[in-house]
Structure 1
Amino acid sequence: WLQLHPLSLYQGAAFPFALLFNYLCTMDSFSTQSRYVFLLAGGHLLALAALGSYAVLVFIPAFCTVVLIHSLRPQEVHRCTFFFQMTWQTLCHLGLHYTEYYLQEPPSMRYCITLSSLMLLTQRVTSLSLDIGEGKVEAASRGIRMRSSLSEHLREALPYFSYLLFFPGLLGGPLCSFKRFQARVEGSSSLGPRHSFWALSWRGLQILGLEYLKAALRQVVSAGAGLRDCQQLECIYVMWSTASLFKLTYYSHWVLDDSLLHAAGFGSEFGRGLGEEAYVPDTDIWTLETTHRISLFTRKWNQSTARWLRRVIFQRSRAWPLLQTFAFSAWWHGLHPGQVFGFFCWAMMVEADYLIHTFANMFIRSWPVRLLYRTVTWAHTQLIIAYIMLAVEFRSPSFLWLLCNSSNSVFPVVYLVLLFLLARRKHRCN
């Protein structure tokens, strides 16, 4: 009754090894070097099992990143690793474009999983390079590296290789910073068996409930009309139900990824005193399903990635930081037509959200009107997010044209009109 994605099966197969690693960390005989090797070896085995021959597309940039870290000055590391990693990932995405749009063939599932793993590797590479550039992670000076022997070079590079390819974060999961990773590997296990059992049991129940909901909703969606056959108001229901199916799939994957990290000891219960390096789960289902703010939904959707984008792009942009952040997100996802349109629309909706709610908070005082306003904007937010999600997920130009010509386009258009009117009003007031 459960139609599990192959990615979920590989993540599930890694659970015994994650629990074994967490258990071995309680033993004094399991040295720090052994822990790094265990995580690295597990990452190689999982990559070969899940990606097959495509695993080399992940191994090569990980190796090149470590070489660049050991060859460049700390101030140069981020720029070089960023452009190398994004160039490599873009070339791999172009291979998917060639298969889908030129050959008109369905891509290999292993290749799609490889692209997902590459996107996660990009997060770890850029996070590590920024930490080195900002002095949060100390790298050995160039002179010391040149005088070191080969064995010392390998010993020094082992934590970086292990971090980039460690198996709990290879195929999914929230971004784990290098400092947090290093603190976990070099520290003792923070989870008792009883605490770990109940935490994992609760996550297992969440996954089971989400999969039941997804199976029920899939039957409803498959039995109804599609976006090509729907008419007027029926198209709104079709869009919402299809997007809800996508969201349930994401929620289930994120809880599973979080469970794997928790089983290995990298979860939210570890390292609460690390400040900004603290664990940030990808999903906050309650907030995502109840918020009436598109901007809040954006910050809570895939939270660790949102925080990573803020650090890598938003905080480093001098002009139009919001638009640059969403443009980079489209590039990072592969620059499919639906993704370019969807992320540009998303950026405009967030900008409109800020103005609309600022304006509303100035004039709405009575609680009945505020309740009505929150209800209407909640429904509008959910429908706009559903519209964007369908554009991003289906990606193809033909479906994008179909979506834009449907009655569902009225929802983002309303926010675009309000954005234009309120921006002009704000400009006149300034």
Structure 2
Amino acid sequence: MCWADLLVLLPAAPYRLAAFPFAALFHHLCALGHLSLTARYIFLLTGGCLLAGTAMGRYAVLLLIPAAGSVLTLLSVSPARAHVWVFALQMSWQTVCHLGLSSQELDPRDARPAIALSAIMLLAQKATSLALDYWSTGNQSTGRGTAVRWLAYYLHWVLDEALLEVAGFVPEAGQGDLSVRDLWTLETTHRMAVFARTWNKSTSRWLRRLIFQRCPARPLLATSLRPGQVFGFLCWAVMVEADYRIHPFLSTWAASQGVKLLYRGTTWVFTQLIVAYILVAVETESFSVLCLLWTSCNSILPLSYGLTLLLLAKKPKQN
């Protein structure tokens, strides 16, 4: 794959690369103490608006509206209710943008709508997480608080993390989306559960914190919109649960070195095939295509994992 192909797969990459010098300048000025807190906000706000306008054109309005709405909500609503309002605003706007843009006949060569949707989804994660932190801080202060393609996926994460680190926003240890160690884990793991924990960490943490820990009844239904997404997330959950029980059972039979290599190699292939199956399902936009996928021979392996889960349901699971 040549560089031109990568730019087609990553339409936002040139804009990220162009922002690197400005991110380095921002970090340098902050490190020298030349920028006050207000000046830093102005720098980031101006740079963000310029980057959004350059990368998205008129579609940048779709990003600026929920951003401004979230700020106004945080300023006008009490901490106890801020996270509810911000979450409702972000998810409602995200849904409207998805449905609105998908109903229009857009130029397939125009990457700006796709960039805008990606930015809106990232904004939803950041804004709702900030609102939840705001709520948690308010509760604690009052004494009431309680605790496609791959190479493409990888480069998205690497560029984003590199840009943030150049700007001085270094994530805490183990909190980044991707690292060299994570790339190796994703490509070599034979465990579905390990893959699920490693792949796209920021989204996994966001879903766990905003959805699964706060929605005790059928949380998976709150994360999806299209039939493919519902099916894909449900299949992913079943595969992970099966993984927790299959591997402790198989590892007891893998005594010799040769059997261990066969066991790890076979389960690695199974993991890669199941992940590919889930990704195809999630990207499916129509129910008829999803039915074709479900009735194809590609479903044999996921079905086998599901049946194995039923057979080993009483076995203790190993995280």
Query: TM-score, normalised to structure 2's length?
Result: 0.85
> 1:399, 1:285 → 2: CA distance?
31
- On the 8 A contact 1:89/1:119 being kept in 2, the answer is yes
- 1:317 counterpart SS class: coil
Post-superposition Cα deviations, 1:76-115, rounded to whole Å, max 9, x if no partner, equal: 111111111111111111113323xxx6975952112111
The alpha-carbon deviation at position 248 of structure 1 amounts to 1.2
Please point out which of 404, 410, 413 is paired with 2:294. 404
> 1:312, 1:303 → 2: CA distance?
14
Match in the other structure for 1:220 = none
- On the 8 A contact 2:232/2:278 being kept in 1, the answer is yes
| 1:226-241 mapped onto 2 (5 Å cutoff) | none
Match in the other structure for 2:196 = 298
The alpha-carbon deviation at position 345 of structure 1 amounts to 1.5
Aligned-residue CA RMSD (Å): 2.6
Please point out which of 104, 125, 128 is paired with 2:127. 125
**Residue 317 to residue 426, structure 1, CA distance change in 2 (3 Å):** farther
Post-superposition Cα deviations, 1:325-384, rounded to whole Å, max 9, x if no partner, equal: x4444x3xxx333333222221221122122224335x4361444433222211111110
Match in the other structure for 2:35 = 30
Please point out which of 210, 224, 229 is paired with 1:312. 210
> 1:137, 1:32 → 2: CA distance?
26
Match in the other structure for 1:18 = 23
Query: TM-score, normalised to structure 1's length?
Result: 0.64
Amino acid at match of 2:167: A
Amino acid at match of 2:177: P
Whether 1:374 and 2:272 are equivalent positions in the alignment is no
The alpha-carbon deviation at position 391 of structure 1 amounts to 2.3
- 1:265 counterpart SS class: coil
Please point out which of 276, 285, 293 is paired with 2:183. 285
Amino acid at match of 2:62: L
In the alignment of these two chains, the number of paired residues is 302
The alpha-carbon deviation at position 393 of structure 1 amounts to 3.2
| 1:127-276 mapped onto 2 (5 Å cutoff) | 127-135=129-137, 246-268=149-171
Moved more, 365-374 or 62-71: 365-374
The alpha-carbon deviation at position 122 of structure 1 amounts to 0.5
Match in the other structure for 1:154 = none
Match in the other structure for 1:76 = 81
The alpha-carbon deviation at position 304 of structure 1 amounts to 1.6
> 2:22, 2:67 → 1: CA distance?
22
Q: Structure 2: state its 5+ residue gaps.
A: 142-147
- On the 8 A contact 1:132/1:138 being kept in 2, the answer is no
> 1:12, 1:104 → 2: CA distance?
26
- On the 8 A contact 1:51/1:110 being kept in 2, the answer is yes
> 2:139, 2:53 → 1: CA distance?
30
| 1:332-411 mapped onto 2 (5 Å cutoff) | 335-361=225-251, 363-364=252-253, 366-368=255-257, 369-397=259-287, 399-411=289-301
> 2:72, 2:82 → 1: CA distance?
10
**Residue 364 to residue 315, structure 1, CA distance change in 2 (3 Å):** farther
Moved more, 369-378 or 32-41: 369-378
**Residue 46 to residue 137, structure 1, CA distance change in 2 (3 Å):** farther
> 2:302, 2:25 → 1: CA distance?
49
Amino acid at match of 1:250: Y
- On the 8 A contact 1:341/1:391 being kept in 2, the answer is yes
- On the 8 A contact 1:131/1:137 being kept in 2, the answer is no
Amino acid at match of 2:216: R
> 1:354, 1:8 → 2: CA distance?
37
**Residue 392 to residue 351, structure 1, CA distance change in 2 (3 Å):** same
Q: Structure 1: state its 5+ residue gaps.
A: 140-244, 273-277
Whether 1:60 and 2:65 are equivalent positions in the alignment is yes
Match in the other structure for 1:47 = 52
**Residue 97 to residue 29, structure 1, CA distance change in 2 (3 Å):** closer
- On the 8 A contact 1:352/1:419 being kept in 2, the answer is yes
> 1:391, 1:72 → 2: CA distance?
39
> 1:42, 1:137 → 2: CA distance?
34
**Residue 420 to residue 11, structure 1, CA distance change in 2 (3 Å):** same
The alpha-carbon deviation at position 267 of structure 1 amounts to 2.7
Give the fraction of aligned pairs with identical amino acids, expressed as a percent. Answer: 50
> 1:355, 1:279 → 2: CA distance?
27
Amino acid at match of 1:135: T
- On the 8 A contact 1:282/1:304 being kept in 2, the answer is no
Amino acid at match of 1:112: A
**Residue 53 to residue 64, structure 1, CA distance change in 2 (3 Å):** same
